[in-house]
Structure 1
Amino acid sequence: MALRNLLHPSQLLILLFQLLGVRGEMTRVIQLPVTLLVSAGEEFTLNCTVRETGQQLEDHPVRFIKNVQLSKQRTGLVPKFHADFSITISTAGLGETYDCMKYEKGGRKDMQEATDVRGQTQEIIQVPETLSVSTGGELTLHCILMGSGSPGGVRWYKGPDRTQPAIYTQKDASPRVTRLVPESPTDFSITISNVRPEDAGTYYCVKYKKTSGTEVEETAGKGTMVSVIVPPNVRVETYPPPPVHLNGMVTLICNVEHFYPNVINVAWFMNNKSKMGTDEPMIKNSVGLFSLKNSLVVRATEEKNMSIFTCQVRHNFQPPINQTATLIIRPYTKEDCLLYSYPTGLWVGLFLSKILTGFFLLCLFLRKEHSKTTPGCRPGSARESGASKPSA
């Protein structure tokens, strides 16, 4: 790309999404997030979900409208019985706005009569229903208030228990929790920073109303289930440790520790050539994290000297993690040859002779100590006893 075609970083694309629907209580068109920020020229995805309870979706098309004008090149028609009408646009333009519109029969005429989703009752929209995030990253939970309702606060809870402390209220929040759009009266989405394994769970956005000076629950979202991806710690060890003797057997062990979920694949490569290892049973610790070992046994032949063995771990469709070990082979020395040239029987004989010599020396020591402590055994003891006997 020529330099003249490069955009300044400040030339970013802001796409504004609106929550739009049709007349009646049977249809809901949901676009989240409300605001999307991408660089010009990048690919981006427009999310659109339709809730329809009284009609078949195939009879009423859904189209994306660009800048309030129908975009023929970027039109998505409804698949049968499908509620997700998200589309992907490969090249972002500058300053574009897209609306996901639900049509009645008759097409564009009815599109112009589409009204806001706001009805007489209040509803909380939480999408998507499931999310995955890696440890250390950021987690965004969406909560949109739709319709009209009584004034009151919104709280976020982890789990269905409303008696536990909320992780966010409009007056108080955890230090890691921030409001995504602080001034919005309808968007109460939050971001949790520095995600930890214990952040996994289902989160609920709950709307309260004031009654007689107290707050009671008015409505709640259906919840967003969050899975926290904990990448594994990977290390490779060899037994025996290098350098190893020529033609000896070597076991390479790949330790894959403390990961979640347990969707994992372990592969071995020797100088980029695939090798088959053996998995040991996976174990789970007290906090729900998994570990396993995979072993590869090789013979340390001369051609394998200085070969690089790589343990490649793929966890939960994330980029692979690679750890390596180098096989260093030590040839036999003259001392090694002398050591291993003696017959086995000779080594056994030498070992037994050492044991017998030690046993003999121990007996001599014990006999000497015994003679010191037994008076009747001392030389001259009988003579001394007779001399002290009185004469008749």
Structure 2
Amino acid sequence: MATLTTGSGLSLPCLVLLLLLGIPGVGAQEFQLLQPQGAVSVSAGETPTLNCSQTGNPPAGPVKWFKGSGPTRLLVYEDKGSFPRVTRADDRNTDFTIRISDTRPEDAGTYRCVKFKKGLGASLPVGPGLGCSQAVAARPSAPSVSGPPSRAEPGTPVTFTCTSGGFSPRDITVTWLKNGAPLPVPQPRVLPEHESVSYSVSSTVGLSLSAGDVRSQLTCQIEHSALAAPLLGTYDLSHALRVPPRLRVGSDPAGCITRNESVTFTCRAEGFYPQGASLTWLENGNETDLGKPSRLTENPNGTFTLQSSLEVRATEQRSQSAFTCRAVHDSQPPVSASAMLRVSLTPTLFSSPALWIGLLLEKMLTGAFLLFLFLRGHRPVLP
């Protein structure tokens, strides 16, 4: 009877015997642990999938996942035990793919799946994967813009700061704009300066404010690889600005006033911001009537104007008196402006009763004298 042989020259019984004996390289496919992904990049909050599978005839033992390498590596998944946010994607014996849910910046790093062989008392690693480097892109937080601790007057240098945090990678761009126009600013400071899973940024810009900045707006614009569109933080410069009032004091009528005549002093506080202001009157340094304030009016540039009037009688005692308007604005030291009351003390035809009487007597005497002359010139001549 003929003996059955294979193409290699071995008889079928011999081949079966070799397979049963487990001689390496004969009929057995070589074991491999495959980790095909070299790198993955995800955004924070996403769920990445890290692939790992084995082929051939693996030894008995588990497959585990680690983050990092060496003695500091961190076990992130094994068949036994619970690992938050890490789950196995496939329950087949040849597939050990995992998923990491709700990815965070601290999840960035290199992940390796490792095959272990059961031994006496412990499992020994026999097949580490090549590793997969995972990069996690985290969005910056909404930018926060802060200004000076107190208001500043026009021409005073003021500093503004923009901050944001929680982003990865560290590359970030910060742009400042005033009313939409870019401003020259130094490079932002990104912390920490060493490698980290998350970063924060701080950027500072200096400005000299003007009275026209009541309606101006400052914008901090942040651009980052994890953003589809820039993030914006805004600051109204009116929150940092104080414009003191300009005072003008006048009188009606102006100039030298006739004694006992009524005169009205007017005080205008113009172009101030914010709107909190009050006006009071002083006569020769002493507080007098508060006057009659007008309604607060807003100017086209956003500043305000307030007016107050004071009516007095131009008596002889008030001649050369100083009437002062004092303005208190935004809890600042008061500012003031004055006008002088000048009263005419020279008697006039219209102000002296004695002159009126003298003039009347003069006219009466003149009339009587003219009448006498008239009668005398028309006296009849006797024969």
State TM-score, norm by structure 2: 0.50
Which structure has the larger Rg?
A: 2
Higher strand residue share: 2
Could you state the TM-score of these two structures normalised by the residue count of structure 1? 0.49
